[in-house]
Amino acid sequence: MELLILAVKAFIVLHVALGLGAVCTWIERKGSALIQDRVGANRAGAYWYPSNPLLWPIAPFIRIAGMLGIINTLLNDAVKALLKEDFVPEGTSVFMHALGPFMAALPVFLAYAVVPLAPDFTIFGYHVQAQLVRIDTGLLFILAMGSLAVYGVVFAGWTGNNKFSLLGALRASAQMISYELAMGIVFVTLIIGYGTLDLYAIVESQQDGWGINPLVHPTGWLSFIILFIVGMAETKRGPFDMPESESELVAGYFTEYSGMKFLLFWLGEFAEIALFALIISLFFFGGWHIPFVELPEGMWWAALVGHGVLMAKVLFFCVLQIVIRWSLPRFRYDQLMSLGWKGLLPLSLLNVMVTAAIHI
Amino acid sequence: MNNNEKSLLNVDYGIGGITTHLRPREEGDDLHSETMVLNLGPAHPATHGTVRIVAELSGEKIVDADVELGFLHRGFEKMCETVDYNQVMPYADRLNYVSPIINNVGWCLTVEKLLEIEVPKRAQYIRVIMSELSRISDHLTCLGASAMELGAFTVMLYLMQAREYIWELIEDVTGARLTISYGRVGGLKADLPEGFAEKMHKALDGTRDQLDKADRLLTRNRIFIDRMCDVGTISKEDAIAYGCTGPFGRASGVDYDVRRDYPYSSYEDFSFEVPLGEKGDNYDRFLVRYEEIFQSMRICEQAIKNLPTGPICVDDPHIVLNPKEGVYSSIDGMINHFELVIFGVKPPQGDVYIPVEGGNGELGFYTVSDGTGKPYKVHVRPPCFVHMGTMKKMLLGSNIADVVPIFGMINMIGGECDR
């Protein structure tokens, strides 16, 4: 029975990750169109008039989804990518070439395993934790998985057998490692502030709904801003998309990828956007807590409401990242490095000192 | 920066016989380091003309660069020798295809100078309006494309929307959007349509709105300023030495504008300012182009306000086709029509060089006439070609990421540069 619950939970968590990634893709598609005065994807499925009468009841919903670009984003892209030729450049290791996208996407999905998605609840006499595994060192696990993702990028750039991929991979690895320093130090600040590494305990300590509340967590805003910037740099998006800057490096480290492998990079990237939005909501914005509203503990419906609240917060931060990505030009590599090393790193060190001084 | 003297190996890597230099280990090098040769183009997302930049990289820095032009050479000058003077017009459209009317006007003025005629005032004013509209669309394209290359894709689409207003206007007048062939020797193809003034004001207002959006997104954006400031700097002396004109030269402080210094087509009737840059970097080029759009709008509005009435072509049946009634009803008209269609305009012998202010700088046409209906020799002075000469100087020592904005702000148009 325990095993069954674990399997069901693994299934749900994986689909939350995939679903968030898919929703992010859709928001990116239609949101960018909205920002740029375009229409965006609105054709695939919009004219679906099936001849089979049995399909008529669902046809209007499919048509509406098609008009909103959902069919295009979720179905057509995936099918198209699966049917494409899987191109492997000459003179490279086929195994390592295939390992690249997996190593880029897998750590992101693994990181979801320790993230709590709703408060604990009791159903049919079973006490369920809405989290795949509750480990005491959840925070460190996320940091570790974030560091692993760099291998995928390096493999991809190296096995591309192409100078553009190589340059992109070098930029990406340097960028990720530099920004992970600041991220690690922000995590130290959080550990000092919350006194625990357990993500569930961190969320539960924000009962009033605002982890960022200056009375509770004096340097919360600073930590939040640093973590948000670092998060965008870690996902290699927004103004930090140096590794794949399409105007100079064609497509950066995944220049030589096609089909589903190419899509896997994007899926990993969008899942990572959602992951960062998720941990920011959990660390600073109370996770599933609603300000000034107390949900009853242990009720299944309360967990459902809490999950909805958490997802709303997550989507807000996803949208925020996407809006930033579509409004700003990108940095240059050296400017990015100086922002990381000269700006964010000293700031996060100062942050940790101040937090430590307050808590001692 | 120049490692050529110290190089041990000259490696010919095949294409085009371009050699590169492997840098041997030097005193002070911790590790053995080699430079990498990166081939940007001819087919590369950043090279929106067809150009090839072979960059030798040390890390991210460019230590040597070779800029190759000519991929879009179509033999414009030679083609012109095979057709009569009016038939050059469609070829001229395809020089700078973002602002084709300026090319048309330049060519018309050249032939008219050979013929020693002056077109009516109304035609001159319409030419000015259309040239300035083209200049706006040219600058909008340049600003939008360079914003896109820095990752600000949204700004590009805003500016493309503004360009769309302008092009709809141009389509209204000429019937085409891109290759419009609006100019004719001795006048224009057609008069302005009815209600043009209102449409133009509306389009210019729309353009102002879009430019305002772009301004809010870019001009004071710290990332944008960091990317553009002090990148690709050309001093005033260098700019003069290389022969830079137009917005590119003016950004370096070269106070030269053909419209003001050698007025043609009644430009002396309008008041406008010539914006000048100080440092000559990419940011100055951006601002100069941005300001020129507003100056062009000023000229357009003055011209439409004071638009004279009258004919739009010279009254000379040897230069401009007779109206059809004359052709069908009189023997003179028939003969003139026949002569003009078969043999074309026949300017007297001589040669002439006429510069106009193109979107990117001084666009000059040099034409030799031998008294027949076809030009004996045509040469174009394309502004981009001259500006591309400065490319290597700007590239050396900059980052690989700077190639794109530098190239973007030169605004090389393949058709014009390679002819």
Asked if pLDDT for residue B11 goes beyond 50, the answer is no
Residue of A166, A247, A325 to mutate, testing the B interface (most B Cβ within 10 Å of its Cβ): A247
How far from B379 is each of B221, B383, B398, CA to CA, in Å? 42, 13, 34
- Which residues from chain B sit within 8 angstroms of residue A331, using beta carbons? 223, 226-227
Other C-beta atoms closer than 10 Å to the C-beta of A308 total 12
Q: How far apart are CA B244 and CA B291, in angstroms?
A: 19
Write out chain B residues lying below 8 Å of A326, CB-based.
Answer: 153-154
Residue A271 reports pLDDT greater than 50: yes
Partners of B372 in beta bridges? none
Read off the tokens for B71. 């991929």
Sequence-ordered list of residues with C-beta below 8 angstroms from that of B31, at least 6 positions apart, any chain: none
Question: Which residue from A minimizes the CA distance to B47?
Answer: A247
Q: Answer whether residue B14 shows pLDDT above 50.
A: no
* Residues B55, B262: Cα–Cα separation, whole Å: 39
Whether the complex's predicted ipTM is more than 0.90 is answered with no
Res. A209 pLDDT band, cuts 50 70 90: low
d(CA A239, CA A228): 13
Give pLDDT tens digits for B212-260: 888 888 888 888 888 888 888 888 888 888 888 888 888 888 888 888 8
Summarize pLDDT for B18-28 with one digit per residue, the tens: 444 555 556 66
Q: Using CB atoms, which residue from A248, A250, A335 is nearest to B400?
A: A248
CA A352 to chain centre: 25
Fold of B84-381: Cytochrome-c3 Hydrogenase; chain B (1.10.645)
Q: Where are the alpha helices (DSSP H) in B94-188?
A: 100-115, 121-149, 153-174
B403 touches chain A (CB under 8 A): yes
From A358's Cα to the closest Cα of chain B, the distance in A is 34
pLDDT at site A300:
78
Q: Are B323 and B224 in contact (CB under 8 A)?
A: no
CB < 8 Å to A37, chain B: 157-158, 161
- In eight-state DSSP terms, residue A106 is H
Which whole number is the average pLDDT over A139-163? 84
B414 pLDDT exceeds 60? Answer: yes
Q: How confident is the model at residue B2 (pLDDT cuts 50, 70, 90)?
A: very low
Rounded to whole angstroms, the Cα distance separating B127 from B112 reads: 14
pTM: 0.83
Distance CA B409, CA A138 (A): 49
pLDDT tens, A95-121?
A: 888 888 888 888 888 888 888 887 777
Q: What would the DSSP string read from start to end of B313-337?
A: B-S-TTTSPPPHHHHHH-HHHHHHH
Cβ contact (<8 Å) for A333 and B154? Answer: no
Confidence grade of residue A216 (pLDDT, cut at 50, 70, 90): low
Residue of B187, B191, B186, B183 lying closest to B89 (CA atoms): B183
Residue B274 has pLDDT above 60, yes or no: yes
Copy the structure tokens of residue A51: 């001849």
Amino acid at residue number B256: Y
Residue B1 has pLDDT above 50, yes or no: no
Give the three-class secondary structure for B22. Answer: strand
Chain A interface includes B404 (CB < 8 A): yes
pLDDT for B23: 56
Structure tokens at B105: 């006007």
* Cα separation, B163 vs B158, whole angstroms: 9
Residues 6+ apart with CB under 8 A from B60: A167, A333, A334, B399, B400, B401
> Is the peptide bond between B42 and the residue preceding it cis, with omega within 30 degrees of 0?
yes
Q: Tell me how far apart the alpha carbons of residues B120 and A271 are, in angstroms, rounded to a whole number.
A: 66
CB atoms within 10 A of CB B327: 17
The single-letter DSSP state of residue A298 is B
From-to residues of CATH 1.10.645.10 in chain B: 84-381
